């Protein structure tokens, strides 16, 4: 008889926590419990990538109708019915939550719809008043949006609330320059909202390749997003005709809705971590080693709460590595190198590996790059441009980075990511026969570098 109630207690029912719980239970026979205070599926399924992608799809249809007319179809773009879409969206999120619950119960995981706190190295206190013990505790509590400390900040929403709007705003201000801010600026613009975006920095999408993010910004503005760089808000106040916003650039205007997309922070407050000796970093993250173990040996952490690479597939990989390490006696460090990712702006940005700027700091490189009008949109008389870019090591000829700005860039970068992860050289790309006519064929037909560094 075990001295603990469970072999594993998981706090958090997002993608990483659910995967770790059910794999530990179903593949190793461990006795597992999981507590979730909100909805199962976590940020990704309930407040992030899944509902956001449905909104991306919805926002693209007006351009389909416009292009269709240029291709000879008698088409018109009607008004967007937000309530119809919203009802369908939330029905789908309810269905997905049910899938997550079913996966856990099918694996034999006991679940608690409650907030959980860490009481000691092997004990969890539930908001129901129950106390549970476990040989191992896994923290998978994710992160939450950060809101700036400015007068009137309570008048704004965040990415958590944007999916629950009762009506589509006519005029909206989005504050921030990261991928969440840019994605929602494109989404709301596509749905018919007049969108203004403020970002305090010199260019949006900090951390991505400069040339790629520059093109994304240009295309966003061309498509109708009123982007103001080097701009922040000073204060907001409620008035009869909406929310009045004062900006650092001297602007003062009214909006139906204001949304903060100014970063996210790990959910580490008030769950007892520091009290039991778990080290918390400067940004509020749980500090872990390469095996996702905290400074308390029986407590592990995965996903956004560790603030390593905050992507859903990474949290799932970390969860799987945790199970291998702890329950299968196969110590497995998490591989955070060369992770492909996509920003679902319009156009999309897909990226894997080093930006040109990062690569230049490490070694001598060659840059292969082309920007052009794609066949489909060119025929429809749209000026949209796409970008295909490879960053190559002069010494090893390895492709250090691949950056794509184009419709469906997310789909393309998944496949390019395999080649880059395998260590493909520029000559490997050159030896690959092009698929014609496609946008992505440019990745294997660029012969001469446009610059070196």
Domain end residue (candidates: 327, 357, 375): 327
Query: At 176, which CATH number?
Result: 3.50.50.60
CA distances for 163 relative to 45, 160, 167, 175, 264, angstroms = 12, 7, 10, 17, 17
Question: Judging by DSSP bridges, how do beta strands 264-266 and 123-126 pair with one another?
Answer: unpaired
Catalytic residue among 90, 228, 254, 436: 436
Q: Exposed, middle or buried, 292 (CB in 10 Å: 0-12/13-18/19+)?
A: buried
SS3 content of the chain, % helix, strand, coil (to 5): 35, 25, 40
For residues 310 and 316, is the Cβ–Cβ distance under 8 A? no
Residue 320 in any domain: the answer is yes
Do residue 250 and residue 178 come from a single domain? yes
HSE of 38, CA atoms in CB hemisphere, 13 A: 12
CA distance 281 to 279: 7
Do residue 307 and residue 359 come from a single domain? no
Do residue 195 and residue 162 come from a single domain? yes
Show the tokens assigned to 436: 């014609």
Grouping H, G, I as helix, E, B as strand and the rest as coil, residue 30 is coil
Query: Residue 71 belongs to what domain range?
Result: 6-144+265-327
Do residue 358 and residue 402 come from a single domain? yes
For residues 236 and 156, is the Cβ–Cβ distance under 8 A? yes
Show the tokens assigned to 414: 């998944």
Do residue 117 and residue 12 come from a single domain? yes
In 3D, which of 159, 162, 171, 215 has the Cα closest to residue 197? 171
Catalytic residue at 254? no
- From first to last of the 453 residues of the chain, give the pLDDT tens digit: 579 999 999 999 999 999 999 999 999 999 999 999 999 999 999 999 999 999 999 999 999 999 999 999 998 878 999 999 999 999 999 999 999 999 999 999 999 999 999 999 999 999 999 999 999 999 999 999 999 999 999 999 999 999 999 999 999 999 999 999 999 999 999 999 999 999 999 999 999 999 999 999 999 999 999 999 999 999 999 999 999 999 999 999 999 999 999 999 999 999 999 999 999 999 999 999 999 999 999 999 999 999 999 999 999 999 999 999 999 999 999 999 999 999 999 999 999 999 999 999 999 999 999 999 999 999 999 999 999 999 999 999 999 999 999 999 999 999 999 999 999 999 999 999 999 999 999 999 999 999 999
Q: Which residues, 6+ apart, have CB-to-CB distance to 72 below 8 Å?
A: none
Give the global pTM.
Answer: 0.96
Do residue 131 and residue 275 come from a single domain? yes
Residue 49 in any domain: the answer is yes
Gyration radius (Cα) of the chain, Å: 24
Do residue 290 and residue 399 come from a single domain? no
Do residue 13 and residue 138 come from a single domain? yes
Show the tokens assigned to 90: 């939330």
Vertex 24, ends 21 and 29: CA angle to 5°? 125
CB environment 264-290: b (16+ within 10 A), e (fewer): bbbbbeebbbeebebebeeeebbebee
Q: Which residues, 6+ apart, have CB-to-CB distance to 365 below 8 Å?
A: 356, 359, 391, 392, 393, 394, 400, 452, 453
Query: At 424, which CATH number?
Result: 3.30.390.30
Do residue 273 and residue 254 come from a single domain? no
What is the tally of structural domains in the chain? 3
Do residue 287 and residue 207 come from a single domain? no
Residue 409 in any domain: the answer is yes
Domain end residue (candidates: 327, 361, 381): 327
CA distance 441 to 85: 36
Domain end residue (candidates: 327, 350, 369): 327
Do residue 163 and residue 94 come from a single domain? no
Do residue 316 and residue 361 come from a single domain? no
């Amino acid at each position: 008889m075990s001295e603990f109630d469970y072999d594993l207690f998981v706090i958090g029912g997002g993608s990483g926590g659910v995967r770790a719980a059910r794999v530990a239970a179903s593949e190793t026979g461990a006795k597992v419990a999981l507590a979730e205070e909100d909805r199962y599926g976590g940020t990704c399924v309930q407040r992030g990538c899944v509902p956001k992608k449905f909104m991306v799809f919805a926002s693209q249809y007006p351009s389909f109708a416009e292009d269709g007319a240029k291709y000879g179809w008698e088409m018109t773009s009607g008004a967007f019915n937000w309530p119809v879409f919203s009802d369908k969206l939330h029905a789908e999120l309810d269905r997905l939550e049910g899938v997550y619950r079913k996966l856990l119960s099918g694996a034999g995981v006991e679940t608690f719809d409650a907030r959980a706190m860490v009481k000691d190295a092997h004990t969890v206190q539930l908001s129901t008043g129950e106390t549970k013990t476990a040989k191992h505790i896994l923290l998978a509590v994710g992160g939450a949006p950060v809101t700036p400390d400015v007068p009137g900040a309570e008048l704004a929403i965040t990415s958590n609330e944007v999916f629950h709007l009762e009506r589509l705003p006519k005029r909206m201000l989005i504050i921030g320059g990261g991928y969440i801010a840019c994605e929602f600026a494109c989404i709301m613009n596509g749905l018919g909202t007049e969108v203004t975006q403020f970002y305090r920095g010199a260019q949006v999408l900090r951390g991505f390749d400069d040339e790629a993010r520059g093109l994304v910004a240009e295309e966003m503005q061309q498509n109708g997003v009123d982007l103001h760089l080097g701009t922040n808000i000073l204060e907001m106040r409620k008035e009869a005709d909406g929310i009045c916003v004062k900006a650092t650039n001297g602007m003062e205007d009214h909006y139906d809705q204001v949304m903060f997309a100014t970063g996210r922070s790990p959910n580490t407050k008030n769950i007892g971590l520091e009290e039991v000796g778990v080290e918390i970093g400067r940004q509020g993250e749980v500090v872990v080693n390469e095996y996702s173990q905290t400074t308390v040996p029986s407590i592990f952490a995965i996903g956004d709460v560790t603030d390593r690479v905050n992507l859903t597939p990474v949290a799932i990989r970390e969860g799987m590595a945790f199970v291998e390490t702890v329950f299968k006696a196969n110590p497995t460090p998490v591989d955070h190198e060369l992770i492909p990712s996509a920003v679902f702006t319009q156009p999309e940005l897909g990226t894997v590996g080093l930006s040109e700027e990062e690569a230049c700091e490490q070694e001598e490189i060659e840059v292969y790059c082309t920007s052009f009008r794609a066949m489909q949109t060119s025929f429809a008389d749209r000026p949209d441009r796409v970008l295909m870019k490879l960053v190559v090591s002069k010494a090893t000829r390895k492709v250090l980075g691949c950056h794509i700005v184009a419709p469906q860039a997310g789909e393309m970068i998944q496949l390019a990511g395999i080649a880059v992860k395998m260590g493909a050289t520029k000559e490997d790309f050159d030896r690959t026969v092009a698929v014609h006519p496609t946008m992505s064929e440019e990745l294997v037909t660029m012969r001469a570098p446009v610059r070196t560094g």
